[in-house]
Structure 1
Amino acid sequence: MELRHLRYFAVLAEELHFGRAAARLHMAQPPLSQRIRDLENELGVRLFDRTRPRVQLTEAGALLLEHVRPVLAGVDGAREAMRRVRPGEAGVLRVGVPPDTGPPVLPTLTAGFARRVPDVLIDLHELTTDEQLVRLREGELDAGVVRHPADTVGLESGPVARRELGVVLRADHPAARDGGPLRLRDLDGAALVIFPRAMAPRLYDHMLLICRDEGLLPGSIRHARNPHFVHGLVLAGRGVHLNEPPATPLPDGLVWRPLEGAALAWQTSVVWVPTRHNEAVSAFAEAVSEGLAAAGHRLVGAGVEARPR
């Protein structure tokens, strides 16, 4: 039984309305409905009567609520106690960054943040986009660096940075021989090595849709998140990999080639829960923009840039 599921249950028990409860939790309604069903399945009881014109607590739901309220109050009290003992005005800023954040980004990011708010410590966590979104909504992170498109309903976003993607492939691949930009259709039928969908479902689906529209239908798809494993698969002839220009030299036998038309790109921004925005979050967003710019990303504004045509 997860604490976040109990919090979802308690908010729904107070609102007795899925739409209002989802708005309070800064999430969409379908995921909330699914989490409540998961909790009911785990407990083996029905917590809400959904057959009436209005959602109502069942007897089991009312009993669970009596037990859940003191648990959540205790957790909130513990969090507040920890906030009071943190150093500085804001104490520690807990933030998430993608697992594949390039080496040039973090030194610039941390130095830029320290320059802006020297009395606040930055606590970095390596997390996927979806892991960050869950922790932001649960209050376990103050800000996150996520890849778009993503489910950011109820969250605010800083400026979006864009970095066009190319392809990593074996040096002896026929498409790599002339050294120039490639078209995605030139790779049609090749196996594709890509991050697992669970890391960022909307981004994953978006990338495969663009590949299809641009003439690349993968012969197969293999999933990998560790860069060494990714490169090993490509070296072994098990596929090609879409990514930004490498910050460090690739292993012998691999090359990176740009793609024509800039159809694929990382679109990255800082996101946060509006009610938890403060000076430290603003400083972090500015420092991330600085770090991404140092790594070759370009700022494209406050909203996610549409796909270029």
Structure 2
Amino acid sequence: MELRHLHYFAVLAEELHFGRAASRLHMAQPPLSQRIRDLERELGVQLFDRTRPRVKLTEAGALLLEHVRPVLSGVATAREAMRRIRPGESGVLRAGFPPDTHPVALPTLTSAFSRRVAGVLLDLHELTTEEQLAWLRVDKLEAAVVRHPADTVGLESGPVVRRELGMVLPAAHPAAGRPGEPVRLRDLNGTPLIIFPREMAPGLYDHMLSVCRDEGFLPGAIRHARNPGFVHGLVLAGRGVNLNEEPATPLLDGLVWRPVTSPALAWLTSVVWVPARHNEAIAAFTEAVTEALTATGHRIDAAGEAGAVPAG
């Protein structure tokens, strides 16, 4: 028993007219009649009473119709689910995003993406750069929003956006100075540094420490933390200073954020993807990410593409 034969049967049961049923099925009437006879022969029952002037369902036909309708409905539901799961085809786009993304970026992103491809569901995952790259390469993501430098060999990238970094430090720290006054990294020499764990983004981690060293800042200790509340608690407790972008919300009393003088310290962020999987949805997502990050203080980096950023 083939599924298409059940479909032919259900349509004929609804129309009770071979000509109209054949027209709905986009087929000629004789092949439809043959398929129905094949089904009756296989089941060993007569499904339709063909006595003129009209076709009628037999008792066996009515019983079969009760069983066939939920089967065909389930098949249609399964097909729709499979259609929606295909990325970029009115389906789902799975994408990663850094854990410390500015909160305003996400509603801006989803709105901008929906304007471009209204039929695609955006499935966002909070993942570190290293996690995103790993997921991307095993087809668990279609697109990743990563921080550079990073190992993006074999991947394509959209525009790189830049967000300058600064330092979160105790308000009483000698290097704090006045609001808006940049901190010279060498003035922090010997101070412990609080930074994200290296496994989150190894290339970026090494790059940041290298810049600090070149600017005369050799931390007295390195402490790892990723949750902003815990990071700020450590700074408030005098356990170190934190290199990060300007906070999205006011800091706790006793803490200040100051820009740093080194232009080499910045978040460089872009969307990356596997070249063979690029489609309209990924292109729309890339544009939406650029729009969202620009709205939260990022700007297009002069270097242009992530491929120009060293792997670190």
TM-score with structure 1 setting the length: 0.71
Rounded to whole Å, the distance in 1 between the matches of 2:170 and 2:194 is 13
Contact 2:93 2:281 in 1 (8 A): yes
Label 1:285 to 1:254 Cα distance change in 2 as closer, same or farther (>3 A): same
Contact 1:160 1:299 in 2 (8 A): yes
Matched, 1:202 2:203: yes
2:85 maps to which residue?
Answer: 86
1:153 maps to which residue?
Answer: 153
1:104 maps to which residue?
Answer: 104
Rounded to whole Å, the distance in 1 between the matches of 2:173 and 2:307 is 34
Rounded to whole Å, the distance in 1 between the matches of 2:80 and 2:139 is 15
Contact 1:128 1:199 in 2 (8 A): yes
Cα root mean square deviation, aligned: 1.9
Contact 1:156 1:273 in 2 (8 A): yes
TM-score with structure 2 setting the length: 0.70
Rounded to whole Å, the distance in 2 between the matches of 1:90 and 1:291 is 22
Rounded to whole Å, the distance in 2 between the matches of 1:163 and 1:82 is 39
Rounded to whole Å, the distance in 1 between the matches of 2:228 and 2:137 is 29
Contact 2:94 2:124 in 1 (8 A): yes
Contact 1:267 1:304 in 2 (8 A): no
* Residue number among 291, 302, 306 corresponding to 2:305 in the alignment: 302
Q: Which runs of 5+ in 1 are unaligned?
A: 1-79
Find the residue that maps to 2:175 and give its secondary structure: helix
Rounded to whole Å, the distance in 1 between the matches of 2:268 and 2:106 is 17
Alignment of 1:204-243 (within 5 A): 204-243=205-244
1:262 CA displacement: 1.6
Contact 1:156 1:272 in 2 (8 A): yes
1:127 maps to which residue?
Answer: 127
Higher Cα radius of gyration: 2
Which string of whole-angstrom CA distances, capped at 9 and with x for unpartnered residues, describes residues 146-200 of structure 1? 0000010110000000011000001111111333111111111100000000000
Rounded to whole Å, the distance in 2 between the matches of 1:140 and 1:225 is 24
Which string of whole-angstrom CA distances, capped at 9 and with x for unpartnered residues, describes residues 78-107 of structure 1? xx9964353882400000000000112111
Rounded to whole Å, the distance in 1 between the matches of 2:242 and 2:236 is 11
Label 1:191 to 1:295 Cα distance change in 2 as closer, same or farther (>3 A): same
Alignment of 1:137-216 (within 5 A): 137-179=137-179, 180-216=181-217
Contact 2:161 2:268 in 1 (8 A): yes
Rounded to whole Å, the distance in 2 between the matches of 1:81 and 1:117 is 18
Aligned AA (1:299):
I
2:7 maps to which residue?
Answer: none
Rounded to whole Å, the distance in 2 between the matches of 1:111 and 1:82 is 24
Larger mean Cα displacement after TM superposition, 277-286 or 294-303: 294-303
Rounded to whole Å, the distance in 2 between the matches of 1:196 and 1:83 is 38
Rounded to whole Å, the distance in 2 between the matches of 1:168 and 1:232 is 11
Rounded to whole Å, the distance in 2 between the matches of 1:149 and 1:306 is 6
Rounded to whole Å, the distance in 1 between the matches of 2:246 and 2:257 is 7
Find the residue that maps to 1:193 and give its secondary structure: strand
- Identity over aligned residues, as a percent? 69
1:245 CA displacement: 1.0
1:283 maps to which residue?
Answer: 284
Rounded to whole Å, the distance in 2 between the matches of 1:261 and 1:85 is 47
Rounded to whole Å, the distance in 2 between the matches of 1:304 and 1:185 is 31
Rounded to whole Å, the distance in 1 between the matches of 2:309 and 2:155 is 19
Find the residue that maps to 1:111 and give its secondary structure: helix
Contact 1:148 1:304 in 2 (8 A): no
Q: Which runs of 5+ in 2 are unaligned?
A: 1-78
Contact 1:185 1:216 in 2 (8 A): yes
Contact 1:160 1:305 in 2 (8 A): no
Find the residue that maps to 1:174 and give its secondary structure: coil
Rounded to whole Å, the distance in 2 between the matches of 1:173 and 1:303 is 36
Contact 1:98 1:126 in 2 (8 A): yes
Rounded to whole Å, the distance in 1 between the matches of 2:197 and 2:80 is 38
